[in-house]
Structure 1
Amino acid sequence: MPTPLHQHAAALAAVGNDHWIETLEDGSHVLIRPLRSEDRELERDFLNRLSPMTRKLRFHGEVKVNEALLDSLMDVDYQQTMAFVALVHEDGELREVGISRYAAAEDGSQCECALTTADDWKRKGLGLTLMRHLIEVARRNGFTQMYSIDQAIDRDMRDLAVQLGFRAQRDPDDSTRVIRSLEL
């Protein structure tokens, strides 16, 4: 059920700053802000530009970018679900180059997170920057633990999780996956 507009605005205000300009390790700059409903086409283009391997690691298998997937990804209420996008201007066009997100787990004290970085923006510190913003907002919104479920072969997520202090354990139901958790 959609959040009434005034509650939606209040939840967004609780996120804090509306946007940030961040300088990455290679000196490039990105604008980071909460995902907005008008970002739907940016999100579609972003997903379609991902390599098959990046898309497979993010979604745990092959996925078709369709309206149902976009509906799910764009459903953000800024409290129980949150997403930050990283945007750059390239050739006069605004382009999404990364996104971090969380969704509340059933118990309400934990949230599951995910991160996706454009292939040509990996290893620049973008994932770390996006996750730090996400972790801060999850804490502010009262979550006590954040976790992710990742493919065991995903070295980028492994390295990032170590940097951020996540603990890792094999998924007891699927040996190809790792569950990473962070006490907030």
Structure 2
Amino acid sequence: MTTQSLSASFDIGPDTPRWSETLRDGSEVAIRPIRASDGAAERAFIEGLSDQSRRFRFLGQTRHPSDELIRRLTDIDYSRDVAFGAFDGGAEDRLVGVSRYSAASDGAQCECAVTVDDEWQNKGLGTVLMKHLIQVARQRDIHRMHSFDSAENHRMQELAAHLGFVTRTDPDDTSQVIHELTL
């Protein structure tokens, strides 16, 4: 595993952080920040997810994401938000996992999400993506991460517990849970 340290703020450019990761099954991924030019890869990634995975990620069906959604997911304001993509074996065109957070206006907390292609689940990719995201959040002095997820998403509950998140039922919607991590 190659790890590159991130400063409190980073730009997309030649010094963009990148990691090469070997997963539990020996497969390799390259992880780097998502760029606006990754729109086609993001669209293919979302459309390639199973119905259940899309429902868990978007808390509803998004079979064919709109151009506006793709723009929001790839045109990232890295001064406050972060999105990392995992690419199959370093190929820049096949996105197999994404982790992201969006900071609240106070900059002290953020909402996070992670999604892994169905064929790449159970290999440790979600854990790797979230660990990089948590590292950046800590470096940026974010004190709390949270995620809203379907109560049926047991894989996310296992991942959240593994990473130290505390899970509770969403008081506004009992079909959802809230995972929270104090950094």
The normalised TM-score by structure 1 is: 0.88
User: Aligned AA for 1:82?
Assistant: V
Matches within 5 A, 1:125-164: 125-164=124-163
CA distance in 1, matches of 2:79, 2:145: 14
Residue 88 (structure 2) aligns with: 88
**How far apart, in 2, do the equivalents of 1:61 and 1:85 lie?**
22
Secondary structure in 2 matching 1:175: coil
Tell whether 2:38 aligns with 1:23.
no
Distance in 1, matches of 2:142 and 2:104, equals 10
Aligned counterparts of 1:156 and 1:80: Cα–Cα separation in 2: 28
Instruction: Give ranges in structure 2 of 5+ residues lacking alignment.
Output: 1-8
CA shift, 1:140, in A, is 0.9
Q: Which residue is equivalent to 2:73?
A: 73
Aligned to 1:168: 167
* Secondary structure of residue in 2 paired with 1:136: helix
Going from structure 1 to structure 2, the CA distance change for 1:93 and 1:38 (only over 3 Å counts) comes to closer
Kindly state the Cα deviation for residue 88 of structure 1 after the two structures are TM-superposed: 1.1
Aligned structure 1 segments of 4 or more residues deviating by more than 6 angstroms: none
Q: Determine which structure has the larger helix proportion and give its number.
A: 1
How many angstroms does 1:108 deviate by?
A: 2.2
Q: Deviations over 1:90-115 (max 9, x none)?
A: 9x873100000000123321000000
Deviations 1:44-89 (A, max 9, x none): 1111101111000100011241101111111312231100000014
Cα distance change, pair 93–81 in 1 and its aligned pair in 2 (3 A): closer
Letter in 2 for 1:73: L
| Contact 2:16–2:33 under 8 Å retained in 1 | no
Deviation at 1:40, TM superposition (A): 1.0
Stretch deviating more after TM superposition (79-88 or 123-132): 79-88
Query: Aligned in 2, Cα 1:38/1:75: closer, same or farther, shift over 3 Å?
Result: closer
- 2:110 aligns to what? 111
Q: Which amino acid aligns with 1:101?
A: R
Task: Determine helix, strand or coil for the equivalent of 2:175.
Answer: strand
Aligned-residue identity in percent:
46
CA distance in 2, matches of 1:72, 1:158: 26
Amino acid at match of 2:67: E
The one-letter code of the counterpart of 2:179 is R
- What code does the residue aligned with 2:11 have? L
Deviation, structure 1 residue 18: 2.1
Size of the aligned set, in residue pairs, is: 172
Tell me the secondary structure at the aligned position of residue 103 of structure 1. Answer: strand
